[in-house]
């Protein structure tokens, strides 16, 4: 019933816009017949309103995917390169947390594996908000950083990579069925920098989904129960993402397209030296305000991607 109500509201909105356009066309004919400047002024104002509403509705089409209205889970993984890539992964984590603050989306780091010297090896963040997944799905792929290294005594220029995964949160228990026989749960102590144990009790959870081999860990909470709940939510999201990828591969096979995934899919470059630029390789969008982007000003980049995807098969 909720879905039906939403569809009716969407149809009523478009039909209302259609009626407004018909009325405007009638006014145009009347203005021509009577050569009335006042009517022409009203037409211009109403036409601007129609254009504004149409633009907003067209952008809403970007959120037509089956999971776009869901909460999202972001997983960030440092690439090869040790401390450099681990620092870059932490910069990306901060960037997404700042974006969430700007949008008023509650964000919780539910798992974090620190780097050996600096940065992070990986992190998992749960983002709550309207169309959180619909917005953040644009971030899936490899992010590349070019800068003068703060960890290199010669201050040489380095290139670092990090992989960002974005998963839709499961809607209800019936959507993803996980049998107790299909998982193995291991309990261990949470670790900090250098691998040292930071808790006396074993509260960290590792869940292995035996049929697929998917492994999920959560160790940020002090409660074993809370860590298990978080790990199960991430596992459910990964199973949904697996199904989405299977569907995308099937569609690509039918269309004869190549679908790159994981580390082969570089989507964006962030250059901090010798000039400053962020460029999205899928849409061609670029900006010289690299500092602003790293502070969470992602909306223009996200919107450019979403607009480019209108009419494509939504994921």
Q: What DSSP element (H or E) covers 147?
A: strand 141-148
- Do 91 and 166 lie in a common domain? yes
The answer to whether position 227 is within a domain reads: yes
Q: What is the pLDDT of residue 154?
A: 79
Instruction: State pLDDT tens for residues 161-198.
Output: 999 999 999 876 557 888 999 999 999 887 655 544 44
Q: What is the pLDDT of residue 192?
A: 59
Residue 80: which CATH number?
Answer: 3.30.70.1660
- Do 163 and 276 lie in a common domain? yes
- Give this prediction's pTM: 0.77
Cα R_g (the chain), whole angstroms: 24
Please state the rounded mean pLDDT for residues 148-156: 84
The answer to whether position 216 is within a domain reads: yes
Does residue 82 or residue 286 have the better pLDDT?
286
Domain boundary among 63, 98, 114: 63
Instruction: State pLDDT tens for residues 6-30.
Output: 678 878 888 988 998 998 888 888 8
Q: By three-state DSSP, how is residue 159 classified?
A: strand
- Do 168 and 147 lie in a common domain? yes
> 315 pLDDT exceeds 50?
no
- Do 156 and 188 lie in a common domain? no
Q: What is the mean pLDDT of the chain?
A: 86
Does residue 73 or residue 66 have the better pLDDT?
73
- Do 12 and 38 lie in a common domain? yes
> 246 pLDDT exceeds 60?
yes
Q: What is the pLDDT of residue 314?
A: 45
Name which of 45-49, 175-179, 247-251 the model is least confident about. Answer: 247-251
- Do 32 and 76 lie in a common domain? no
Q: What is the rounded distance in angstroms from the CA atom of residue 315 to the CA atom of residue 166?
A: 11
DSSP structure string for 48-114: HHHHHHHHHHHHHGGG-STTTTS-EEEEEEE-SSTHHHHHHHHHHHHHHHHHHHHHT--EEEEEEEE
Instruction: State pLDDT tens for residues 140-149.
Output: 999 999 999 8
Spatial contact of 167 and 72, defined as CB atoms under 8 Å apart: yes
Q: In Å, what is the CA distance from 287 to each residue of 96, 298, 309?
A: 18, 11, 20
- Do 134 and 246 lie in a common domain? no
Instruction: State pLDDT tens for residues 100-144.
Output: 999 999 999 999 999 988 999 999 999 999 899 999 999 999 999
Domain boundaries, position 129? 72-174+260-309
> 200 pLDDT exceeds 60?
no
List strands edge to edge, sheet with 204-209: 183-188, 204-209, 214-218
- Do 184 and 169 lie in a common domain? no
- Which residues are bridge partners to 107 per DSSP? 127
Whose structure tokens read 């839709």?
168
- Do 131 and 51 lie in a common domain? no
Please state the rounded mean pLDDT for residues 265-273: 94
Residue 213: which CATH number?
Answer: 3.30.160.20
Spatial contact of 249 and 177, defined as CB atoms under 8 Å apart: no
Angle subtended by helix axes 37-60 and 299-309, to nearest 10: 90
Q: What is the pLDDT of residue 197?
A: 46
The answer to whether position 44 is within a domain reads: yes
Q: In this structure, what is the dihedral angle of CA atoms 103, 109, 113, 116, given to the nearest 10 degrees?
A: 60
| Number of independent structural domains in the chain | 3
- Do 146 and 269 lie in a common domain? yes
> 39 pLDDT exceeds 90?
no
Characterize the bridge pairing of strands 266-271 and 141-148. parallel
The answer to whether position 234 is within a domain reads: yes
Q: DSSP state, 270?
A: E
> 262 pLDDT exceeds 90?
no
The answer to whether position 255 is within a domain reads: no
- Do 104 and 199 lie in a common domain? no
- Do 124 and 266 lie in a common domain? yes
% of the chain with per-residue pLDDT over 90: 52
Q: What is the pLDDT of residue 91?
A: 97
Q: What is the rounded distance in angstroms from the CA atom of residue 77 to the CA atom of residue 16?
A: 47
């Amino acid at each position: 019933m909720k879905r039906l109500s939403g569809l009716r509201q969407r149809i009523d909105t478009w039909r209302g816009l259609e009626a407004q356009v018909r009325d405007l066309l009638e006014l145009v004919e009347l203005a021509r017949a009577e050569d009335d400047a006042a009517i022409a002024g009203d037409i211009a104002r109403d036409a601007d309103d129609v254009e504004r509403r149409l633009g907003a509705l067209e952008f809403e089409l970007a959120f037509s995917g089956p999971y776009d209205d869901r909460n999202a889970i972001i997983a960030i993984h440092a690439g090869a390169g040790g401390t450099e890539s681990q620092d870059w992964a932490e910069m990306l984590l901060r960037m997404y947390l700042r974006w969430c603050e700007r949008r008023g989306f509650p964000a919780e780091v539910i798992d974090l594996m620190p780097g050996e010297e600096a940065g992070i090896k990986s992190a998992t963040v749960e983002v709550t908000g309207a169309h959180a997944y619909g917005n953040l799905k644009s971030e899936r792929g490899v992010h590349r950083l070019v800068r003068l290294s703060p960890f290199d005594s010669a201050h040489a220029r380095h290139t670092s990579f990090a992989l960002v995964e974005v998963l839709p949160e499961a809607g209800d228990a019936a959507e993803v069925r996980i049998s107790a026989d299909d998982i193995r749960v291991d309990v261990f102590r949470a670790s900090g920098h250098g691998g040292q144990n930071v808790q006396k009790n074993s509260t960290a959870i590792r869940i292995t989904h035996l049929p697929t081999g998917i492994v999920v860990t959560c160790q940020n909470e002090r409660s074993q129960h809370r860590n298990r709940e978080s790990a199960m939510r991430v596992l459910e999201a990964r199973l949904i993402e697996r199904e989405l990828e299977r569907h995308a591969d099937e569609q690509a096979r039918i269309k004869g397209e190549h679908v790159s995934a994981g580390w082969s899919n570089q989507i964006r470059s962030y250059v901090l030296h010798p000039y400053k630029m962020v460029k999205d390789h899928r849409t061609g969008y670029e900006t010289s305000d690299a500092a602003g982007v790293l502070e969470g000003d992602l909306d223009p980049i996200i919107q450019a991607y979403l607009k480019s995807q209108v009419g494509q098969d939504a994921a």
